[in-house]
Amino acid sequence: MATQHTITAAGRKDEGKGASRRLRRAAQIPAVIYGGHADPQSIQLEHEKTWLASQHEWFYSSILDLEVDGKVQKVLLRDMQRHPFKQLIMHLDFQRVSENEAIRVSVPLHFLNEDKSPAGKSAEVVVTHELNEIEVSCLPKDLPEYIEVDLSDLALGTTVHLSQIKLPKGVEIPELKLGADHDVAVVVARHARVEEEPAAEGEEAANGEKKEEGDK
């Protein structure tokens, strides 16, 4: 069962670039809530608390309880604008969710037991994670914070495809409905290639001289 995460915000009436700049100077983040068969609502959040929350994986893939002036709304984070080089969140977009309507969300993958697998134990094998998250479709109540991928049987030459991921009840991958070509690789175990070191310039010159002498 997914953990409940609550984010606190306050409604705001001032809008526009000037109002947003004033909010940021006051250590607040301008944001908006939209969707869910209701009008968009402008809100503001405390930067420090929100920044700390944004360091967690669940902030991006879980349904959040967004409390605005005492009223809780179920939302998903849909967009985050960051400052180009400062540790600042510039703006957030939240989408309301309805408990009876399916949603599409990108959910992180957690890879388990790779170090215990035949591929993980071999120095001659390189394990590549082709995907670190996948888009799923489900009702809000069924949304997982992450999906585990057990790699305990991963061996050299093995490829784990999208269709092989074990999904929680009520969760599906829309991509797989588009055909076999969309059943992409998630994890691949390849043989490690050992590249030959280039010969030193002196060795190349010596070999060239020997070749010329042999041709005479």
High-pLDDT (> 70) share of the chain, %: 88
State the average pLDDT over residues 139-145.
94
pLDDT tens for each residue of 29-51: 999 999 988 899 999 999 999 99
| Domain at 103-191: CATH code | 2.170.120.20
| Residue 74 burial by Cβ neighbours in a 10 Å radius (0-12, 13-18, 19+) | middle
Q: What is residue 104's three-state secondary structure?
A: strand
Encode burial over 137-174: b for 16+ CB neighbours within 10 A, e otherwise: bbebebbbbebebebeebeeebebebeebeeeeebebe
pLDDT for 14 equals 78
pLDDT for 19 equals 86
Within 13 A of 158's CA, how many CA atoms are on the CB side? 17
The ranges assigned to domains in the chain are 5-96, 103-191
Residue 213 has pLDDT above 90, yes or no: no
How would residue 10 be classed by pLDDT, with cut points 50, 70 and 90?
A: very high
Of 155, 154, 143, the C-alpha closest to 111 is: 154
Indicate the residue type of 41: Q
Least confident of 93-102, 170-179, 207-216: 207-216
Residue 68 has pLDDT above 70, yes or no: yes
Edge to edge, the sheet with strand 159-161 lists 125-129, 185-191, 159-161
pLDDT tens for each residue of 89-122: 999 999 999 999 999 999 999 999 999 999 999 9
Residue 211 has pLDDT above 70, yes or no: no
Return the CATH architecture of domain 5-96.
Beta Barrel (2.40)
State the average pLDDT over residues 122-145.
94
Residue 197 has pLDDT above 70, yes or no: no
Do the two domains 5-96 and 103-191 of this chain adopt the same fold?
no
